[in-house]
A and B are shown apart, each in its own frame.
Chain A
């Protein structure tokens, strides 16, 4: 019975290795490994622009009993 399990384990390992190799090939073919500046900036957009900090401690209690003011059209998440 052990050989069934070990064959399965070997196939799983081989399959996963194959998938890793394919992932590297795919990423190369689809331009994921080119234009690194664009890649680094991909988590930003015009709503979440570069240069805007997006996290800070909350206001002290009592200072924001009303919803905090927001600049029109501004997002900071």
Chain B
């Protein structure tokens, strides 16, 4: 809805048309400013907290006596606190921040009553805080990805209800005629997440299902929260920022729509491949394996689309921090998804199941893909809502290289180590304790990779803190203070 100022400007015959459009975009960015900042800063705090728990639990795997005197930092609690800090703390908060900004921008609609969203952010983070403290105190539910104790989850439900409703309201008041593919992904994710979370809570916490159905529901939830919540938001960002930064429409919009609908149809079935070899009806597993392989369709479609959009413009990666992070994430989306499909094949799964290979896979999905895309999105969004430039290019580069090298090292290390571990576990001539001891060098390298990633997170945090404290230049009225772009080799433009 046009604000009074833009309406007045539009009525003034002396006002150039471009000034009207600029004012509208500025108002949209301004309307999203405080919710985005609150969600982002909350996420940043959780990223640092989660990195701390990650290092503690990683070091404990090869040096078990590390912090061994603290009951609340035993491996089972520290590792669980890490997972919940980075998933419900960092990833959810940054997903909300990016999703709201994208939804407002793509809908060309202002975020109304931002105070409600800030209240939702407070509820959400209070719920996560109580949940993490509960986990450290030993109250974990011990259900993977749903460890937050039941006394904290009502706060998360209330917060999400406000967040979901507000996003839909923003969409409802859209001024854009066309619904861009990123909006499809965002809208779908906004409906999918409450469905997944509420069904999982009902069937695992409130009225637990019996027997193996519990395991089925657990992995249906845990896998789908990746594929039907974090993946659509990551892809929504990639489908917006890659063409937007390059100034070049996505190569094939048709393929992007095909990718969305095929993901919507196939992903929901795939989670049960985590139970291959378990006491689950064979037809359920076969359905899960088939769906996992069908996921090759949306993944390859997305990979082709992103790659062909980038063709001729790869040199732009030198100039744009957003593009670097997002393209790194998009490449890893392809790799992690194809690996995931392979892991669903029984003969492959026989080796990788119950090994560090799965841990490498999970980190490639949640970090190398999702988190890297979110970092890129933050580098694009924050200057536009704060009307300030990033204070340090060196810190951005430090962040990128530390995160990229760290997660690549982590993934390669645990993939190779996990494969060897799985092969050895399948060899009856090797004692189990020997298999465990053979993993120690790989676990040590994992800790080194974690430290490298944490250095990147610190650089990110310092840059954001510096940017927030920096004075806004006088006369900053445009959505961004970036210098006019030089003649950059952005490749052929259709």
Q: Are A55 and B478 in contact (CB under 8 A)?
A: no
| Alpha-carbon separation in the docked complex, A26 to B246 (Å) | 31
| Alpha-carbon separation in the docked complex, A59 to B246 (Å) | 19
Q: Are B247 and A47 in contact (CB under 8 A)?
A: no
Cβ contacts under 8 Å, B240 to chain A? 43
Contact of B244 among A46, A54, A59 (CB under 8 A): A54
Q: Are B257 and A36 in contact (CB under 8 A)?
A: yes
Cβ contacts under 8 Å, B483 to chain A? 56, 59, 64, 68-70
A38 at the interface (CB under 8 A from B): yes
Q: Are A47 and B18 in contact (CB under 8 A)?
A: yes
**Dominant SS at the A interface?**
loop
With a 10 A CB-CB cut-off, give which of B244, B245, B254, B380 has the most chain A CB atoms. B244
Q: Are B253 and A51 in contact (CB under 8 A)?
A: no
Q: Are A55 and B320 in contact (CB under 8 A)?
A: yes
Q: Are B249 and A44 in contact (CB under 8 A)?
A: yes
Cβ contacts under 8 Å, A70 to chain B? 478, 483-484
CB-based nearest B residue for A39: B253
With a 10 A CB-CB cut-off, give which of A13, A47, A64 has the most chain B CB atoms. A47
| Alpha-carbon separation in the docked complex, A40 to B488 (Å) | 22
Q: Are B176 and A12 in contact (CB under 8 A)?
A: no
- The total of chain B residues at the interface (CB under 8 A) is 71
| Alpha-carbon separation in the docked complex, A42 to B478 (Å) | 21
B281 at the interface (CB under 8 A from A): no
Q: Are B245 and A40 in contact (CB under 8 A)?
A: no
Q: Are B257 and A74 in contact (CB under 8 A)?
A: no
CB-based nearest A residue for B489: A53
B406 at the interface (CB under 8 A from A): no
B261 at the interface (CB under 8 A from A): yes
Cβ contacts under 8 Å, A43 to chain B? 106, 180, 240, 243-244, 249
B interface with A by C-beta (< 8 Å): 16-18, 21-22, 25, 106, 176-181, 188, 191-192, 195, 198-199, 202-203, 206-207, 240, 243-250, 252-254, 256-257, 261, 264, 316, 319-323, 379-380, 384, 389-393, 396-397, 473-476, 478-485, 488, 490, 493-494
21 pairs, A vs B, C-beta closer than 8 Å? A5-B202, A9-B199, A32-B179, A39-B180, A39-B257, A42-B180, A43-B106, A43-B244, A53-B490, A54-B245, A55-B245, A55-B321, A56-B319, A57-B320, A57-B321, A58-B389, A58-B392, A67-B476, A69-B483, A75-B18, A77-B384
Q: A43-B249, A46-B21, A74-B484 are in contact. List 16 more A-B contacts (CB 8 A).
A: A12-B195, A43-B243, A48-B244, A51-B493, A53-B319, A55-B320, A55-B380, A56-B321, A57-B390, A57-B393, A58-B390, A58-B391, A67-B475, A70-B484, A77-B25, A77-B482
Going nearest first, the 5 A-B pairs with the smallest beta carbon separation are A40-B249, A40-B253, A36-B253, A77-B480, A55-B320
A interface with B by C-beta (< 8 Å): 1-2, 5-6, 8-9, 12-13, 16, 19-20, 24, 27, 32-33, 36-61, 64, 66-71, 73-77
